[in-house]
Amino acid sequence: MAKDFAKSKCFIKTDNGYKEITYEELLHREEADPSYKARKFLPLHGMLMEVTPEEYQAFYKEQNRQQYINRRSIDRGDISYDMLTTDEKDGTNILVDNAPDIVEQVEKRIMLDKLRTSLALLSEEELQMLISLFYLEMTERDLAREYQISQVAIHKRKQRILEKLKKLLEN
């Protein structure tokens, strides 16, 4: 510590306020007067400032707390929004929330319930055609061969069924 403050100014408390002395003078006073060893000094802006024991304790308590917070932050991988802020971008807009959107999940569930209800109202032939086209991914041409009708007729039926389904979903 002597090397750190060898060229530093030191301020000791006196009855009239603070008095400026050199670090070497402080060391000489500590040797001459044992009460100087009990005095507390804080390094502030490259100088040593005498403080009360309470101020000394509060300073190092806060410093230890900050070091603890920094260690925890590093261990947990925390980042600051301020670190992400640049002249062009605001750090809060850069982070993406990967949590599923509850509103979207509810809307999707409601739409699926409506779809199931609407599909139940279709005839067996209409439902089978939609299953073949959309779930089994058959082409209109393949379905036309299976039903032994033209592809155009299959396309028209599909359009009518989808319009019917759309009206059922809207109600």
What is the domain range of residue 72?
2-76
- Strand 47-51: give its sheet, edge to edge: 17-22, 9-14, 47-51, 40-44
3: left (phi over 0), alpha (psi -120 to 50) or beta: alpha
Residue 106's pLDDT is 94
Q: Is the dihedral of CA 58, 63, 66, 72 positive or negative?
A: negative
Residue 4's pLDDT is 65
- 94 lies in some domain: no
- At 40-79, the pLDDT tens digits run 989 888 888 989 999 999 999 999 999 999 899 888 887 7
Give DSSP secondary structure letters for 36-98.
GGG-EEEEETTEEEEE-HHHHHHHHHHHHHHHHHHHHHHHHT---HHHH--SS--HHHH----
- 97 lies in some domain: no
- 136 lies in some domain: yes
**Residue 91 in contact with residue 82, Cβ under 8 Å?**
yes
> How does the average pLDDT of the chain come out, rounded?
87
Same domain for 152 and 110, yes or no, is yes
Q: How many domains does the chain have?
A: 2
Same domain for 67 and 114, yes or no, is no
- 55 lies in some domain: yes
Same domain for 63 and 120, yes or no, is no
- 150 lies in some domain: yes
Same domain for 66 and 106, yes or no, is no
Segment 4-28 shows an average pLDDT of: 85
CATH number at residue 148: 1.10.10.10
Dihedral, 165, 169, 170, 171 alpha carbons, nearest 10: 110
Task: Write down the pTM of the prediction.
Answer: 0.43
Same domain for 6 and 68, yes or no, is yes
